[in-house]
Amino acid sequence: MLKIIEGFKNFILRGNAVDLAVGIVIGASFGTVVTTLVKGLLTPLIGAIAKVPDFSGLFFTLNGSKFMYGEFINALISFLLVAVAVYFFVVLPINSLMSRIKKKELAVPTTKKCPECLSEIPINAKRCAHCGQPVLN
């Protein structure tokens, strides 16, 4: 029983489970921010431009059945606005940040010059492959 509890503890404290939990909490919080942005700013802006603030009242009737296509239009506009907001306020900044980080990672040198013959040798080399001179790290 102690092995099971120890294994579970190791699993929970491993980076993946903790990262997933943090991601879910932040995602839920961010979802609220994006929904508020869309409902409070972007949808009224489109309503002001299109002069129709809400499409939910649009429908047609066929054989006594009411088809609420306005609700679908509202949901579609909301989805598109959320996608645009996520792309411009999350995806583009994160991609920009990641490209900067990758550039910094690429700048780490992998070779050094031999002090005796000045040829390029691997950074962890203890002896020059060209002249055989011992090299300090």
User: How far separated are the first and last CA of the chain, in Å rounded?
Assistant: 49
Query: How many Å apart are CA 80 and CA 116, to the nearest integer?
Result: 64
- Could you tell me the residue ranges of all domains in the chain? 2-106, 109-137
Write the pLDDT tens digit of every residue in 66-124: 998 888 887 787 788 778 877 888 788 888 888 887 777 676 778 888 888 888 988 88
CATH architecture of 2-106: Orthogonal Bundle (1.10)
Burial of residue 81 (CB within 10 Å: 0-12, 13-18, 19+) is: buried
Over 70: is that where the pLDDT of 137 sits? Answer: no
Rounded alpha-carbon distances, angstroms, from residue 26 to 20, 67, 79, 94: 10, 37, 20, 15
pLDDT of 127 > 80? The answer is yes
What are the pLDDT digits (tens) for 18-59? 677 777 888 788 778 877 777 777 777 877 887 766 777 888
* The pLDDT of residue 130: 84
Within 8 A by CB and 6+ apart from 72, the residues are: none
**Whether the predicted pLDDT of 15 surpasses 70:** no
